[in-house]
Copies of this chain bind each other. A is one copy, B any other.
Amino acid sequence: MDEMDAAQLAEDQSTDSEDAQLQAILEAIVYITDEPLTVQQIAAAIEQPIDKIKRILDQLVEEYGKPEHGLSIREIAGGYKMATKAEHHEAVRAFVKKLTPPMKLSLPALETLAVIAYKQPVTTPEIMEIRGVQGAGVLKTLLDRKLIAEAGRKDVVGRPLTYKTTKEFLVQFGLKDLKELPTLKEFEELGRLELVEESQPEPAATAAAESPATEPPGTDA
């Protein structure tokens, strides 16, 4: 009995220390990489079973989620990425040296991006139809920033180009995948609720169109 326990204990300990070792390596890997890496990529590169990697990465995500951590490991664009937590932005900003200028997008650009995100692959005329304005506008800006990409031609008259969102889009907007976006129906319900509940004459949707885009906190440093 005692012997069995001891053996079990020894095995547990060796598994534990192996896990700790693997966790340390995964932490280091997530720390150094610039692009979110998928579990598959990591598992293949360090030759470990996918489910084991997934389990330990999830442990890391949970651990860093605790309030005593100022860093977080997040699932973004189908992979894992380390970054500072948004709630500490004021303290952190003072120390950010290589400040990449924040990506400023106008409301028309965001609208176009939203249409592409929800309707992809989508053609220029389809985008114009929804937005109600001529000019696919801002497509070039979105392409330049690699938020969207060409997605082949559509098999209709004129064979127009279609567009889709990219991995960079997911990264820039902190999305795990496209499924994480609320459905369009949810927006509709939101609109209806506002119509019923809101007593002020300005629902949120129109308010945003009037006021210049709110200054995001990351611009003045």
Contacts and interface: CB of A to CB of B under 8 A. Distances in A.
A95 B45 contact: yes
Contact of A198 (B109, B203, B206): B109
A152 B24 CA distance: 46
Interface residues of A, number: 86
A218 interface: no
A135 B193 contact: yes
A3 interface: no
Contacts of A55: none
A144 B45 contact: no
A108 interface: yes
Contact of A91 (B25, B105, B174): B25
B139 A194 contact: yes
B108 A197 contact: yes
A195 B37 CA distance: 37
Interface in A79-134: 84-85, 88, 91-92, 94-99, 101-106, 108-109, 124, 133-134
A46 B72 CA distance: 21
Contacts of A2: none
A41 B103 contact: no
Nearest to A164: B174
A204 interface: yes
Interface in A134-149: 134-141, 143-146, 149
Interface string A17-44: 1001101111111011111010001101
A214 interface: no
Interface string A165-186: 0000000001110011010001
18 contacts: A17-B67, A23-B70, A24-B67, A24-B88, A25-B88, A27-B71, A28-B70, A28-B85, A31-B70, A42-B95, A137-B193, A140-B191, A141-B194, A144-B205, A146-B205, A146-B206, A150-B174, A153-B179
